[in-house]
């Protein structure tokens, strides 16, 4: 079964009502490849604004979700609240949350378990630092991250994996096509050996790390690259070109 190409747009802590309405209008007016699943993740404050104005066929993700159902957790958003608001996706484990906000592999795994069991699909992120890559530890680091989430979840149908080398996020540096494909293939190999052959075959693995209109077409041709998680370029008109990179 062919894996449906997937493009996510992570706005991070960027945007205003005016600019986000402009991004949404651009997507609504664009001719998008119907064979691509598109999900955009604005800041939490604008989730309902985007959901209200975005055309059918494009989904909306939160940039985070908490692993408790409700209670005294100031500043957090629950799975049930996302579902109540028509938000059916979340990004979890992004390197900025792992490194700046010190979320451990176990915390990310716990959030992934609660989200997927509650009906919110997850773009689950993994990746290595420049120091880890230079030390030849890329695959072991990612396998450790995978093992933590595999210990918590049984159902992978609502999980999309995003490989994001930390050294390439927002830096303008991009892993070479060969580097990206190598890691994607290693992730799929790990899933086959440690989860199941079916999960390895069906799970979509995205590349993230300074993806733009210039490099997306070449990356999209690789066997194990099933789409992109786009950062800064998702705020620009070129996001449409990235969505249509398989045409």
The one catalytic residue among 37, 94, 96, 184: 94
Q: Report how far residue 106's alpha carbon sits from residue 8's, in angstroms, rounded to the nearest whole number.
A: 24
Burial class of 90 by CB neighbour count within 10 A (0 to 12, 13 to 18, 19+): buried
Q: Report how far residue 155's alpha carbon sits from residue 143's, in angstroms, rounded to the nearest whole number.
A: 18
Q: Report how far residue 64's alpha carbon sits from residue 202's, in angstroms, rounded to the nearest whole number.
A: 24
Torsion of CA 90, 15, 205, 121, to 10 degrees: 20
* Residue 241 token pair: 């070109």
Phi, psi of 179 (to 5 degrees): -65, -45
In the three-class reduction of DSSP (H, G, I as helix; E, B as strand; rest coil), residue 205 is classed as strand
Work out the number of other CB atoms within 10 angstroms of the CB of residue 154. Answer: 9
* Residue 208 token pair: 């993230």
The one catalytic residue among 37, 128, 132, 164: 164
Instruction: Name, in order, each residue with C-beta under 8 angstroms of 222's C-beta and a sequence gap of 6 or more.
Output: 177, 180, 181, 184
Q: Report how far residue 12's alpha carbon sits from residue 40's, in angstroms, rounded to the nearest whole number.
A: 10
**Is 184 known to be catalytic?**
no
* Residue 91 token pair: 């990004």
**Is 53 known to be catalytic?**
no
| Active site residue ranges | 94, 164
């Amino acid at each position: 079964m062919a894996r449906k190409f997937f493009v996510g747009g992570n706005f991070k802590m960027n945007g205003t009502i005016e600019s986000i309405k402009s991004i949404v209008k651009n997507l609504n007016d664009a001719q998008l490849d119907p064979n691509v699943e598109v999900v955009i993740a604005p800041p939490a404050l604008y989730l309902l604004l985007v959901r209200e104005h975005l055309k059918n066929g494009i989904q909306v993700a939160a940039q985070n979700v908490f692993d408790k159902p409700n209670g005294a957790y100031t500043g957090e958003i629950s799975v049930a609240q996302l579902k109540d608001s028509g938000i059916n996706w979340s990004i979890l484990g992004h390197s900025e949350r792992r490194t700046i906000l010190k979320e451990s592999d176990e915390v990310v795994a716990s959030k992934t378990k609660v989200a997927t069991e509650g009906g919110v699909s997850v773009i689950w992120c993994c990746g290595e630092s420049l120091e880890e890559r230079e030390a030849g530890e890329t695959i072991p680091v990612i396998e450790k991250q995978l093992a933590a989430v595999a210990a918590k979840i049984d159902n992978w149908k609502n999980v999309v994996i995003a490989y994001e080398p930390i050294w390439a996020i927002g830096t303008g540096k991009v892993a070479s096509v060969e580097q990206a494909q190598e890691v994607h293939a290693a992730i799929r190999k790990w899933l086959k050996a440690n989860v199941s052959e079916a999960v390895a075959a069906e799970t979509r693995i995205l590349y993230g790390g300074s993806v733009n209109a210039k490099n997306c077409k070449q990356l999209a041709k690789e066997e194990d690259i099933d789409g992109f998680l786009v950062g800064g370029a998702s705020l620009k008109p070129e996001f449409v070109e990235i969505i249509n990179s398989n045409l």
